[in-house]
Amino acid sequence: MKSLIMYILFILLIAILLPTVIIQNYKVENINSLENERSVDDTIKSKYIKIYNIETKTVETIDFEDYIKGVLATEMSGNFHIEALKAQAVASRTYAFHRLEVYKDGHPQHPETALCTGIHCQAYSSIKKLEEIHGEHWMEQYWDKFIEAVDSTKGQIMVYNEKVIDAMFHSTSGGMTEDSEMVFASAKPYLRAVVSPYEKESPKFTGTMCISVNDFINTITNEYDGINLTKKNIASKIKIVERSKSNRVKTINIDGKAITGRELRILLGLNSTNFDFSIDGKSNTITFDTIGYGHGVGMSQWGANGMASKGYKYDEILKYFYTGVKINSMY
């Protein structure tokens, strides 16, 4: 009888002590892994990143993978195919890593950090902010999908010649992406123009912008000296002189002044540099018809979604839009 009581007491003791030991070990393990990650503190491999919040004008410290979730939920639609969301998760993670490398001492526009929460870098919203914008129902519907896309690609980034790439992306290419040097300063071997055939569902596939001839003349003459534009002569003074192979306007000539398509796009707020224009002398308006939305370099988000709906996996989509890249894991 006595040995039975001893036996029961022994079992009870084990039942109480064992979970405590397990929990303590678990905590130690997690703290160790966190400290290991922190000890490789060259910003790039840190578990946390500092980000400049353009609304509150303060610096926030966020878990890196949580930051990618907030970017994905802001940059992409929850309706998009999971493989397109995974492709964007890897692109956004790569883009952030690259910026952390390039702007180690802060970006000139926000010297406190390498990345901000605005589209200037890549748009990010916190969970609280997403709830405010979209409501609880939206969070219930989509948040798990964003988490899945980020968690299932955790730590994955794109490299070219073992270097982290500048993973640029945009909304809609309009049928073909663009060589990097047509839009930005340098020619990157992995940012080559490719055909993007599956993005006609994009609401921004085509666009129209109509402005009065007066406003157009004012905008142009305020920006550039020595241009003589009037309602009467305007039709003969504007000419598109050069297009890229993707049909984007490289150069437009206005009264003898050569202006890049990109300059005009920014000046007028056009959807893209793939445009045509027409002047209506009766209504005194000038209409720009655009194809695509964004700068056109790197991955087209709508193109990625189109490929995903055709059965392509996220890595196939990335390797299609970013020429010659490999996908590595940073953790």
| Comparison of 34 and 102: residue with beta carbon closer to Zn ion | 102
Asked if 191 is part of the footprint of Zn ion (rule: CB under 5 A), the reply reads no
| Comparison of 12 and 119: residue with beta carbon closer to Zn ion | 119
Sign of the torsion formed by the C-alpha atoms of 55, 61, 62 and 64? positive
- Please check whether residue 247 is in contact with residue 256, taking contact to mean a CB–CB distance below 8 angstroms: no
Minimum distance from CB of 255 to Zn ion (Å)? 36
| Comparison of 112 and 223: residue with beta carbon closer to Zn ion | 112
| Comparison of 74 and 274: residue with beta carbon closer to Zn ion | 74
C-alpha separations of 305 from 168, 182, 191, 257, 311 in Å: 16, 25, 19, 40, 10
Question: Which residue number is nearest to Zn ion in terms of Cβ?
Answer: 116
Minimum distance from CB of 110 to Zn ion (Å)? 6
Please, which contacts does 108-115 make with residues 24 or more away whose CB atoms are closer than 8 Å?
110/52, 110/54, 112/50, 112/52, 112/59, 113/50, 113/51, 113/52, 113/59, 114/43, 114/50, 115/49, 115/51, 115/52
Distance, CA of 301 to CA of 90 (rounded, Å)? 12
Minimum distance from CB of 103 to Zn ion (Å)? 9
Identified binder of Zn ion from the candidate list 121, 158, 183, 308, rule CB under 5 A: 121
Asked if 114 is part of the footprint of Zn ion (rule: CB under 5 A), the reply reads no
Task: Give the count of beta carbons closer than 10 Å to the beta carbon of residue 85.
Answer: 29
Minimum distance from CB of 119 to Zn ion (Å)? 8
Asked if 297 is part of the footprint of Zn ion (rule: CB under 5 A), the reply reads no
Minimum distance from CB of 116 to Zn ion (Å)? 3
Asked if 165 is part of the footprint of Zn ion (rule: CB under 5 A), the reply reads no
Residues that bind Zn ion (CB under 5 A): 116, 120-121
